[in-house]
Structure 1
Amino acid sequence: MFGIVDFPLFLLAVFILNVTPGPDIAYVAGQSIVHGRRAGVMSALGVSIGGCVHTLFCALGLTALLAASPSAFTLIKTAGGLYLVYLGLRTLFARKPAAGSVMPVPRLRETTLLLRGFVTNVTNPKVLLFYVAFFPQFVAAGSPDKTTAFLLLGLVFVASGLAVDATVALVAARASRAVSGRPRVRGWVDRVIGTAFVGLGVRLLLARR
């Protein structure tokens, strides 16, 4: 249908790719641990919106153009890397609760959470390159419906990612509640999350095509 080929294989590959730890999963888990379950789920939705943008660009052929431009690749990876470093530093230097006390979970606005998740995904050039290299393998070269095929495959990929990220958010929130009354443990968790964000950001800044 619509020139899509080997769809069962595509589903299997997409599932494996979505459960493989990366910046999106790390970000969603971090937000859920630091700000609660609601923040994690909203962040997962933001990541999915970013995936929808990648899907649209791929279907219109813009993704291939961006991937072929060294300056565009550098701009995207720099923005994404610096943003992850910024989030990591914010987590590392956030005010910690005093011993014997429990700091209330900060409540961020839905728009803020969605925007953060969106930016984390849409500024990741590895996602852009993934769309260029992966999706064409499952669309017949001579199909007259390539645009529709890319849109459908992209939506399946995004929906699978949202299911995985939302599950990660719920699990991370439950783990966070288990340590919410233990400030020292929570402090170490925040340090690990912050360091992970900084590391992912630096890795992205040093990435090559």
Structure 2
Amino acid sequence: MGIGQLFGFAGATVVLVGMPGPNNLYISLRSLTQGRRAGVVSALAIETGTLVYIAVTTLGLAALVKASPALFTAITVTGALYLAFLGVKTLRAKTSELNAVAAASLGRVFRDGVLVNLLNPKAALFFLAFLPQFTTRGAGPDQLRTEMLLLGIGTLLIGLLLDLSYAMGADAVGRRFRSARTGSRGRNLVVATIYLGLSAFALVTAF
């Protein structure tokens, strides 16, 4: 990959990864409602999911998903249902539960973040359709795996920086959001609505 192509990859990755989507909104919502630690844990969780995508893509297993529209649709629908579950859980939760940042709570934040990324159709399309465009044409299997691994690592590093930026920015806004003494149900409703909206959007795009 030449210098020009490398800059092209980095720029396109910043735009695509940085665009608002399930991953970024998940991180932002956690920071808004639970604070910086939850946001950072969310960012690490999202990129843990990226590690799985890197491994799957490098091993060539992503081609199986690309070759099966039904499987891709199933992943998308499962992700949409999981976002809906998070929305309903948020709507039913007490404010004290949303604001808790105990170790057990952060463990759930991490688990949810990994699943949100793994079931995110945007992330799947990124590795299935975008990264292969920057590999060498006619490359052998070994070279192709190496290039995909390096591209994946570059994506992870760029994604982590962007994710942490979302986490810090949302935390700065969320300090006032969390300190408000009134309207706790309204805040829960806003967060739940975003989750449910993402779920509905994912379902619409799946069919």
The structure in which a higher percent of residues are helix is: 2
Query: Does residue 177 of the first structure (1) align with residue 157 of the second (2)?
Result: no
1:125 aligned partner = 121
Paired residue for 2:101, among 102, 107, 117? 107
- Tell me the matched-pair count: 203
Task: Give the Cα separation in 2 of the matches to 1:78 and 1:180.
Answer: 32
Distance 1:186 1:152, change over 3 A: farther
Shift of 1:181: 2.8
Q: TM-score when scaled to structure 1? A: 0.87
Partners of 2:80 and 2:136 lie apart in 1 by 35
1:69-84 equivalences in 2 (<5 Å): 69-84=68-83
Question: How big is the shift at 1:4?
Answer: 9.6
**1:32 matched to which residue of 2?**
31
Change (3 A) 1:131 1:106: same
Specify the alignment match of 2:133 in structure 1. 137
Query: In 1, Cα distance between the equivalents of 2:203 and 2:165?
Result: 28
Moved over 4 A (4+): none
Paired with 2:161 and 2:9, the residues of 1 have a C-alpha distance of 16
Matches within 5 A, 1:14-25: 14-25=13-24
Instruction: Give a deviation string over 1:11-39, Cα, whole Å, max 9, x none.
Output: 01011112211110100011111222111
**Alpha-carbon distance in 1 for matches of 2:125, 2:147:** 18
Unaligned runs of 5+ in 2: none
What is the alpha-carbon distance in structure 2 between the residues aligned to residue 156 and residue 87 of structure 1? 30
1:4–1:140 CA contact under 8 A, matched in 2:
no
Instruction: Work out the percentage of aligned pairs sharing the same amino acid.
Output: 35
What aligned pairs does 1:124-203 form with structure 2 within 5 A after superposition? 124-144=120-140, 145-184=143-182, 186-203=184-201
Q: Relative to 1, partners in 2 of residues 1:180 and 1:124: Cα closer, same or farther, differing over 3 Å? A: closer
Q: How much is the aligned-residue C-alpha RMSD, in angstroms?
A: 2.2
Aligned to 1:7: 6
Amino acid at match of 1:128: A
1:62 corresponds in structure 2 to 61
1:140 deviates by 0.8
